[in-house]
Amino acid sequence: MAKRVLSEEEIVKDRLAYLGTLAGGLAHEVRSPLNSIHLNIEMLEKAGCEQENQEGIDKFNKRVGRIKLEVSNLQKTLTEFLQFAKPPGVKRMATDLKDYLHDVVEFIDAELNRENIRVKFNIAEHSYPVLIDRRQMEQVLQNLLFNARDAMSEGVITISTYENNHHVFIELEDEGPGMDEDVKERIFDAFFTTKKKGTGLGLGICRRIVDEHNGGLEVESPLKNGKGCIFRIILPKEKLLSYSPENEDASV
């Protein structure tokens, strides 16, 4: 069956509807910290800034700390939203995945170990180097690792690589409970999250970054044992004009 081509009017309507969804989600995320800031400022005004005892000083400092925290949350939400809506341009460099992936994990390994999470590598000894923006792809990998950590109380995250004639694949597999079909279908939607804390923009940003690399980001869950989850980064094999292991600064 042939796929129907959308008219220009339908495309505009779809875009407007999506913008409306984004705007509604952003308003929802911003409203709560703004209300908290407003409430705490009102309480500070009523109490006054002049505190004559330690208890009053402690309450004053606690409310100021709360305001600072909510302002920080707002800044994080707006920063992530802007990154989701308009990701920065990529500066891609030829990169050998084996060393790169070990370096990414090493940077956050202590944080993972504190949560009884161990990372296991199943990386091809020799693989086709990929053209990536190393800083942005590190953000993707760390986000996926932290999501896997949050899905487990303890356990192993396995990072694997393999390739075919046209693509290189990076897989991150966790031992968590997995996700149902409804969650899996919405996991990359803006402001959708299953966490108590979080903006729901992280995975959307990850997908946008991978898209900017002419690649793809997929999720597979549950696995054969009825649990677990795999996030799969797919990157194209592209012609490298000046790559050598000694000189990884070939860029596009």
pLDDT band of residue 240 (cuts 50, 70, 90) is low
The residue that leads in pLDDT, 186 or 86, is 186
Is pLDDT above 90 for 121? yes
The residue that leads in pLDDT, 116 or 182, is 116
First and final CA of the chain: distance in angstroms?
40
Lowest mean pLDDT among 27-31, 110-114, 220-224, 248-252: 248-252
Say if CB 81 and CB 73 are below 8 A apart: no
Q: Which CATH superfamily is domain 93-236 in?
A: Histidine kinase-like ATPase, C-terminal domain (3.30.565.10)
Can you read off the two tokens belonging to residue 171? Answer: 């897989």
Helix then strand count (H, E) for the chain reads: 6, 7
The residue that leads in pLDDT, 196 or 70, is 70
Q: What is the pLDDT of residue 116?
A: 92
DSSP string covering 149-189, please? HHH-SSEEEEEEEEE-SSEEEEEEEE-S----HHHHHHTTS
The residue that leads in pLDDT, 248 or 195, is 195
The residue that leads in pLDDT, 158 or 250, is 158
Q: What is the CATH number of domain 8-85?
A: 1.10.287
Q: What is the pLDDT of residue 23?
A: 56
Domains of the chain by residue range: 8-85, 93-236
Tens digit of each residue's pLDDT (9 = 90 or more) over 203-223: 888 888 898 899 999 999 888
- For residue 67, the one-letter residue type is I
